[in-house]
C-alpha cells in the first residue's frame, strides 16, 4: 500500500453566473488555467509546470468532475490545453453536484494505493456552453437527464429542496437569514483578501461575480421559486454558474515539508432520491464513524450551499448551528449561495476553501476539516482532511 495522500496546492477560478462573465468559455478553457496554476504552485514558478511536479515527479493523471460538458473526456482535453504532455491521461467523473469532490477522492485512492505519485484533481463546469441534448426523434431538447429510473422519485432540485425544508422544519426566515450570512461572509472574505491566493484570474476577472449585500426586507419580498406558497426562493438558492477548481495530490514522502491537507477518509453514500439534499448527513456520519472522529473536533466544515434549506436541514441533523454557535465553523467565508454553484466543480471548490481556511491560514498540524456535497438522485459525498 502507498502513503496517505496530501493536497499540497489548491486553486479555483472566479465563479461566474451562467450567461454572464464566462459565457463564451468552454469547460476545458475554464479548467486548464487552474490545472496549470496548481502545478506552478508546486514548482514555485509563475508559469505552468508542464508535466512535472515536486522534485521532478511526473503528473500521473488529471481527474476532473463534470456534469454537463460536451463529452470527449473533458479531463484529457483540459490537461492538453494546460500544456501537459501527451503521456498524461485524464479521467472525467460524473457524480453530478458531488463530481469535483468525488474526483478528489478517486485521485486520493490512486495515491494511497501506490499507483500514482502526483495527480491533479478537481472539477469544472460551463453551464453557459453546455450542449443541449435531444432524444433521437424529438423536436426539442430535454431539460436534464434522469437522476433515477421510472418507478423512483426524480424531483428537480428546487422542489426537492422544498420537500426537505418541509420534512425537517426549516422555515423561510432561517433560510433567508442563512442566505444573508453567506453573502455577507463572502463579501467580508473578499475585502480581507482571503480569496486572493486561491483565485486564478480568468479573462481579467479576479473576483466572484455574485456576492452582494442582501437586505432582509428585499429577500422577504421574493416569491417562492419552485412550489406555490413555498419557502425556497431565488434569494435563498444558489445560481447556475460557471467555474473550475483543482488540487494537486501527492503521497506523504513527496510533500517534502510543504504544508497541506492530508486526506484522512472519504465516503459516497446513497439516500432517498426524493430528498437528495439529505445525502451529506449519512456521508458525513460514515466518514466520522470510520475514523472515530467526533464532529466537535472538526474545526472547519464546508458544505456545498445548493439551497439554504438544504444546508440547514443537514446542519440541524448533525447538531451544527451555523446561525449561532457554529458561525465560524460552517462555510465561514460564505459558500455557493454567494459564490455560485458550478455543478461539476463545486465539490472541488469546497476543498479549495478548506485549503485556504486551514493551510493558507497556518492552522496547526492535525487541525481537521470536513467537505461535503449533496447530489441529485439521492447521494452524499464527504471527505475528512487534516492539516499536515
Q: Which residues are catalytic?
A: 97, 341
Calculate Rg over the CA atoms of the chain.
19
C-alpha cell at 31: 479548467
Q: Determine contact, residues 42/54, Cβ cutoff 8 Å.
A: yes
d(CA 122, CA 198): 14
CB 327 within 8 A of CB 180: no
Q: Which grid coordinates belong to 286?
A: 460514515
User: Is residue 382 within 8 Å of 280, Cβ to Cβ?
Assistant: yes
Count, in order, helices (H) and strands (E) of the chain: 11, 10
Please, where are the H alpha helices in 3-125? 27-43, 74-81, 99-112
In sequence order, what are the beta bridge partners of 246? 11, 122
CA dihedral 143→147→149→153, nearest 10 degrees, is: -100
3-class SS letters over 209-247: CCCCCCCHHHHHHCCECCCCCCCCECCCECCEEEEEEEE
Quote the cell numbers at residue 378.
439521492
Residues of 32-44 as b/e, b for ≥16 C-beta within 10 angstroms?
Answer: bbbbbbbbbbbee
Provide CB contacts within 8 A for 325, sequence distance 6+. none
DSSP secondary structure, 140-178, as one string: S--SS--SS-TTS----HHHHHHHHHHHHT--HHHHHHH
Amino acid at each position: 500500500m502507498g502513503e496517505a495522500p496530501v493536497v499540497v496546492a489548491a486553486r479555483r477560478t472566479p465563479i461566474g453566473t451562467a450567461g454572464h462573465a464566462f459565457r463564451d468559455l468552454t469547460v476545458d478553457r475554464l479548467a486548464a488555467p487552474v490545472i496549470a496554476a496548481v502545478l506552478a504552485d508546486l514548482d514555485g514558478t509563475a508559469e505552468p509546470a508542464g508535466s512535472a511536479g515536486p522534485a521532478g515527479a511526473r503528473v500521473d493523471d488529471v481527474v476532473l468532475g463534470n456534469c454537463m460538458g460536451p463529452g470527449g473526456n473533458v479531463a484529457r482535453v483540459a490537461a492538453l490545453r494546460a500544456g501537459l504532455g501527451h503521456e498524461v491521461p485524464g479521467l472525467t467523473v460524473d457524480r453530478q453536484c458531488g463530481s469535483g469532490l468525488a474526483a478528489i477522492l478517486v485521485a486520493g485512492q490512486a495515491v494511497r494505493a501506490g499507483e500514482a505519485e502526483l495527480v491533479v484533481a478537481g472539477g469544472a463546469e460551463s453551464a453557459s456552453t453546455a450542449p443541449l441534448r435531444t432524444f433521437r426523434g424529438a423536436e426539442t431538447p430535454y431539460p436534464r437527464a434522469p437522476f433515477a429510473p421510472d418507478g423512483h422519485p426524480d424531483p428537480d432540485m428546487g422542489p426537492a429542496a422544498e420537500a426537505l425544508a418541509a420534512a425537517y422544519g426549516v422555515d423561510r426566515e432561517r433560510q433567508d437569514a442563512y442566505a444573508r450570512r453567506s453573502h455577507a461572509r463572502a463579501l467580508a472574505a473578499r475585502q480581507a483578501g482571503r480569496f486572493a491566493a486561491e483565485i486564478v484570474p480568468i479573462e481579467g476577472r479576479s473576483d466572484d461575480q455574485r456576492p452582494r449585500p442582501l437586505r432582509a426586507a428585499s429577500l422577504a419580498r421574493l416569491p417562492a421559486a419552485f412550489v406555490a406558497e413555498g419557502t425556497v426562493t431565488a434569494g435563498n438558492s444558489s445560481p447556475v454558474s460557471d467555474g473550475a477548481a483543482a488540487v494537486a495530490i501527492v503521497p506523504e514522502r513527496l510533500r517534502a515539508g510543504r504544508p497541506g491537507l492530508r486526506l484522512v477518509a472519504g465516503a459516497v453514500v446513497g439516500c432517498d432520491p426524493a430528498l437528495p439534499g439529505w445525502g451529506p448527513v449519512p456521508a458525513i456520519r460514515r466518514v466520522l464513524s470510520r475514523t472515530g472522529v467526533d464532529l466537535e473536533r472538526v474545526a472547519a466544515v464546508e458544505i456545498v450551499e445548493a439551497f439554504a434549506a438544504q444546508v440547514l436541514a443537514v446542519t440541524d441533523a448533525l447538531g451544527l448551528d451555523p446561525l449561532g454557535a457554529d458561525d465560524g465553523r460552517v462555510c465561514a467565508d460564505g459558500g455557493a449561495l454567494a459564490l455560485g454553484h458550478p455543478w461539476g466543480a463545486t465539490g472541488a471548490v469546497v476543498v479549495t476553501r478548506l485549503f485556504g481556511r486551514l493551510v493558507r491560514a497556518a492552522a496547526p498540524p492535525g487541525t481537521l476539516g470536513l467537505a461535503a456535497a449533496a447530489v441529485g438522485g439521492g447521494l452524499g459525498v464527504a471527505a475528512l482532511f487534516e492539516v499536515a
